[in-house]
Amino acid sequence: MHLLAREVRTLDDGDQAEDLGHAPADIVFLSFSDSDLLCLNAAHAAADAPAASLRTVTLSRLLHPMSIDLYVADTIMDSRCVVVRLLGGLDYWRYGAEELARACGQADIPLAFLSGDGRDDPRLAHLSTVGDATRARLDALMRTGGSANMATALRVMAHLAGCGPDVDTPTIPLPPAELLHAADPALPLRAMVVFYRTHLLAADIAPIMELASALAGHGIGADLLYVTSLKDAASARVVTDRIAAAPPDIIINATFFSTRGSDDGHSPLDMAGVPVLQVQQPGIPYATWRDSVRGLSQADLAMQVVLPELDGRIPACPISFKEEAAPGLPARHVPYPDGIALTCARAAGWARLGHTRPDARHVGIILSDYPGAQGAPTGQAAHAVGLDSFASLEHIMYLLHAAGYDTGAAPLPTARQLTDALARASVRPFVSVTTYQRWFDGLPAESRAALTTCWGAPEEDPACRDGMFHLRHMRAGNILMALQPDRGAPGDRHGGYHDPDTPPRHAYVAFYLWLRHEAGLDAMVHLGTHGTLEWLPGKAAAPSATCWPSLLVGGLPVIYPFIVNNPGEAAAARRRLGAVTIGHMTPPIVPVGTSGTDTGELERLIDEYAAADGLDRRRGAILRGEILQRADSLGLLGESGAARNGDEDEALARLDAYLCDVKDLQIRDGLHVFGHPPPRADELARAIAHSCNMTDGEEIATRLHACGQAESNALLAALDGRFVPAGPAGAPTRGRADVLPTGRNLYAMDPRAIPTRSALVLAERTAAILLEGHLQDQGEPLRSLVIDLWGSASLRTGGEDLALALLLMGVRPVWDDASGRITGIEIVPMAELGRPRVDVTLRLSGLFRDAFPGQITLFEQAVQAIAGRDFEAPDLNPLAASVTGLDGPARHAATARMFGAAPGSYGSGVEDLLAGGAWTGRDELGQAWLAGSAWTYGGQREGGQDPAALAQRMAQAAVMLHVQDNAETDILESVDIATHEGGMAAAAGMLGNAPRLLHGDTSRPDTPRLRATAQEVARVTRGRLVNPAWLAGMRRHGYRGAAEIARGMEALHGFAATLPTRFDRQFDLTFGALLDDPEMEAFLREANPDAHAAIRRLLADAMRRDLWRPRSNSAGLLLDDAS
């Protein structure tokens, strides 16, 4: 047997190499913790310190292997003692540890590796050259901390360096946690501020002290507690004892990570039952953060935002940054006054809720107004993914009334009355321009200048008439309900929805300032996924006080009911708004079967044919002909991919398979109503149990029945200023039973673990059918591919799409066994791979770009590793072949394989043209996609624009793939999917390429499917969009149901505009089901006139552009006036 060598790359290889230029010293001390370094520096500065030179260095600047090699050669080899304290253990600095051990062993330099997390690792002892007793003593001294112990540790190191005598001073015990400062009892509110003991010992608590002082200015006394770690049992007891003795109204936490790994899975902070704000102290200087769109590094994002969210903590703001320091030297935390002020405002907002009686609380409930197509009203007021927002609002009003809130005179408004007031009634004035101008003058100068430059004077705003701003809103007692204003130009609503560069309009700013300053809200509920507030210009995480979401929300508590299967966009709401995102259930899912479709009779004939085949050939032939003729007349034969005049047996087999595929489709049976248990819960429980490989669905049914009450309880708890426990986000129908019951504060997984091991296993199945299918269909191996990679899907699946990309390249992730986090990649040798490597290009969504910087680095490493294997045959490694002979900038440009929207921007670039209707042909849409997707990422590119490089990738791709990972959505869910999938196709066509366009379906992970994108559009049109059963479910929801129908029509129009396939039959079907059916047409016209008009406009536009040639003359007559 011969073992094939695998090339392995670690993530540290992706960091930039640097030479720190440090001179040798008698003692070199290295740690990831600046607190360790500052404490030892303080001991060395003392008058009685040993006469030994000291060099302290942060390991975060020694990650690249070349940096380590340089440091070992230039600094370590001429030093006399080396001590390394490794937070996280050996696997976080394996290469460095091994090189240090080798070098110190050769040079006979005393070397001690210490654990930084209290868990001794036998491998650290093995790599150390000092004795076990000495190493254990150093470990105890460093772990206990304090000036006396650090002085002793320094003397021990000096002795090892030959610069002083041995000392036998014992370790002086210090409390692991203690109350540093008690709150002023004269202040009306109390906060508990929890921070690290190491920061206290390093005299690095200036931000904490300034925070306490600022809290007092808001009437909040602060208990300051330092802890070793919230996972430490002794520290946890100190925290819970203090909570019991002096219950806080709010907790502000400045420690990192999550405590869910503790024995009982709970944080000691939970005992207080109040909101916990998680502040950030980024390990970077202010200027670096200020200029960053992401806001935080991958490590800071994970440790100070993502992992704390597992405990239900609410992301707040940065309260400090690191001071500027020479490379590799430790730096103290410098307070950030604006962040401290905003944190205090939010703490006061949440704390006051618990001190305000329900009947005195003023609550605002805001509904989004989603943009639609053709630059005209589309009936999408109060849009929320999967949610009947008006029925939900009716239920919330009932909840508030029952809980003692002032909801006005009885009776409470019904869903229909709420619809009339917020979607149909005329706009009403809410604030004068004069009043707004005073608030406007209080905004930062640069914000005022940006807004005025873009939109002019307040009086010029389209929502301003007669000196007043207007919008749809209504009051019921102390409850204010309103439709979110347009953030941009009325004619550019779709394109401006996620615009990262354009500030919101005056009317938008006026609305949110009015809510805070004049309407006097105590809390704001943003109902449903999702509005525009969290997508205003600003950082993706750790927002500044001048980010637009921060400017408008201020300290107002935000509560955001959010669909449970959308972790990515829920994360944006949490991190940009400081919102509590209360997960709500998805709509009920049911299989299509033959219910409501026109295929039932055809299937009966196929069954009859199967029974006759082989017994009565003549009858079988007659039946076969009748089946194919009927299928052709229904359009099913073409949808199945069968040729009309081809082999009848093959055509029948394709038809039968397609009908089964349509029947296999799962569709939504209506919409969810917040606070209501899901209908048909027992049936849904069986489906979820099946996806979880559980034999008994009783437990899941119990959880489903509990969802409604849990959602209601969570909303009331948040409005009471109480803690809302955390819960995971994910798709229930994909086996994520852990998201049930809903009604918890959503969190997402740690991005550093993506792709997960299970994601790799599932991606292997998709890779196999993709490679095999391409070989069968094209007669040659797949060599080039573009994948449309989305952030929320990656969080739901653990990164299956990224795993697929790596596998196709012949690359596998490498994980740390202890933490499950990705540490690097390994290259599968060609002899083992047994096929050509695929040259993979990723089109990154904006959410993926923001949330996964580490994965971008990982994929870039894979690209460079594969590109460097020029010893492999060109036909087996097309990526390496494409850069042969190139070097320097030319090679760097030629290896760009990740593209997306501009930094801070979202979308595909096609939305504006489709929404406004101002396009003349498919090539124009393709050019828009190319222009909107041409920014490169990875390998220090970070947002450089290179349309030529993207055009080359699109012109050469053999396959373009988008994967749908759950049954709770489909390809016609919204036009956004068409702008991405169809936009790719249009761009390729414009460049003269005709790749296979594939839509992946991994909603059943064990049996992934790949379908032609056009066939998937046809399948969903027939199985869902025109299915009477689905339409009946939507009709139960009146206005919002009609709006969902119009969204499906808009998506179909979008695909017809961008794909090279004709959809005449699908337009015929939608016209027949929606407008040519008198009952359905009457429903649309009455329930939602704007949606009805939008459907007519879209169909008329399809005819005008020759995207649809109707079979029926009635279509032209009915739509004659729609365009």
**DSSP string over 683-737:** HHHHHHHHHTT-S--HHHHHHHHHHHHHHHHHHHHHHTT----EEE---GGGT-G
pLDDT of residue 466: 94
* Residue 615 falls inside a structural domain: yes
* Residue 786 falls inside a structural domain: yes
pLDDT of residue 1: 32
Quick one: pLDDT band at residue 417, thresholds 50, 70, 90?
very high
Q: Above 80 in pLDDT, residue 617?
A: no
Return the minimum-mean-pLDDT range out of 171-175, 613-617, 860-864. Answer: 613-617
Could you tell me if 432 and 509 lie in one domain? yes
Give the residue among 1030, 1072, 1025, 1074 at the shortest CA–CA distance from 1051: 1025
d(CA 393, CA 1037): 13
Quick one: pLDDT band at residue 558, thresholds 50, 70, 90?
very high
pLDDT of residue 6: 54
* Residue 731 falls inside a structural domain: no
Assign residue 78 the CATH number of its domain: 3.40.50
Q: Which residue has the tokens 């991405």?
A: 980
pLDDT of residue 614: 58
- Of 353, 385, 410, the position where a domain reaches its end is 353
d(CA 103, CA 76): 8
Rounded to the nearest integer, the mean pLDDT of the chain is: 91
Cβ–Cβ < 8 Å for 551, 508? no
Could you tell me if 844 and 936 lie in one domain? yes
- Of 353, 387, 417, the position where a domain reaches its end is 353
Q: What is the mean pLDDT of residues 47-71?
A: 92
Most confident of 264-273, 635-644, 1047-1056: 1047-1056
Q: Above 60 in pLDDT, residue 4?
A: no
Q: Specify the DSSP element, H or E, that contains 793.
A: helix 791-797
Could you tell me if 993 and 1056 lie in one domain? no
pLDDT of residue 3: 40
pLDDT of residue 343: 97
Based on C-alpha coordinates, what's the Rg of the chain?
31
d(CA 243, CA 355): 18
Residues 6+ apart with CB under 8 A from 948: none
Could you tell me if 941 and 1035 lie in one domain? no
Cα 331 → chain centroid: 32
d(CA 284, CA 998): 43
Quick one: pLDDT band at residue 1121, thresholds 50, 70, 90?
low
pLDDT of residue 370: 73
Q: What is the mean pLDDT of residues 194-199?
A: 95
pLDDT of residue 681: 84
Could you tell me if 485 and 528 lie in one domain? yes
Could you tell me if 210 and 81 lie in one domain? no
pLDDT tens column, 526-555: 998 889 999 999 998 999 999 999 999 999
pLDDT of residue 371: 61
Q: What is the mean pLDDT of residues 662-667?
A: 83
| Choice between 1120 and 67, residue whose per-residue pLDDT is larger | 67
Could you tell me if 114 and 247 lie in one domain? no
Could you tell me if 300 and 385 lie in one domain? no
Could you tell me if 86 and 18 lie in one domain? yes
d(CA 842, CA 961): 10
pLDDT of residue 490: 65
pLDDT of residue 821: 85
The Cβ-side half-sphere exposure at 52, using a 13 Å CA radius, reads 31
* Residue 168 falls inside a structural domain: no
Could you tell me if 970 and 1049 lie in one domain? no
pLDDT tens column, 774-819: 999 999 999 999 999 999 999 999 999 999 999 999 999 998 877 7
- The percentage of residues in the chain with a pLDDT greater than 90, rounded to a whole number, is 72
Q: Above 80 in pLDDT, residue 499?
A: no
Q: Above 50 in pLDDT, residue 611?
A: yes
Could you tell me if 209 and 342 lie in one domain? yes
- Of 322, 353, 384, the position where a domain reaches its end is 353
Q: How far is CA 11 from CA 61, 749, 816, in A?
A: 14, 19, 11
Cβ–Cβ < 8 Å for 267, 230? yes
pLDDT tens column, 201-258: 999 999 999 999 999 999 999 999 999 999 999 999 999 999 999 999 999 999 998 9
Beta bridge partners of 367: 483, 527
Q: What is the mean pLDDT of residues 1080-1091?
A: 96
Cβ–Cβ < 8 Å for 537, 904? yes
pLDDT of residue 266: 84
* Residue 703 falls inside a structural domain: no
Quick one: pLDDT band at residue 10, thresholds 50, 70, 90?
low
Q: Which two tokens stand for residue 626?
A: 């009748």
Q: Above 70 in pLDDT, residue 15?
A: no
Q: What is the mean pLDDT of residues 27-42?
A: 94
pLDDT of residue 373: 45
Q: Which two tokens stand for residue 581?
A: 């995102």
Q: What is the mean pLDDT of residues 958-980?
A: 93
Assign residue 331 the CATH number of its domain: 3.40.50.9100
d(CA 554, CA 537): 15
Domain that holds residue 552: 358-556
* Residue 224 falls inside a structural domain: yes
Quick one: pLDDT band at residue 1025, thresholds 50, 70, 90?
very high
Crossing angle (nearest 10°) for helices 922-932 and 983-990: 110
* Residue 108 falls inside a structural domain: yes
* Residue 461 falls inside a structural domain: yes
List, as one string, the DSSP characters of 875-914. Answer: TT-HHHHHTTT--HHHHHHHT--EEESSTT--S-S-HHHH
pLDDT of residue 2: 39
Most confident of 107-121, 849-863, 981-995: 981-995
Q: Above 80 in pLDDT, residue 170?
A: yes
pLDDT of residue 607: 74
Q: What is the mean pLDDT of residues 1061-1084?
A: 95
Task: Report the domain count for the chain.
Answer: 6
Could you tell me if 184 and 278 lie in one domain? yes
Beta bridge partners of 397: none
pLDDT of residue 374: 47
pLDDT of residue 615: 61
Please count the residues of the chain. Answer: 1123
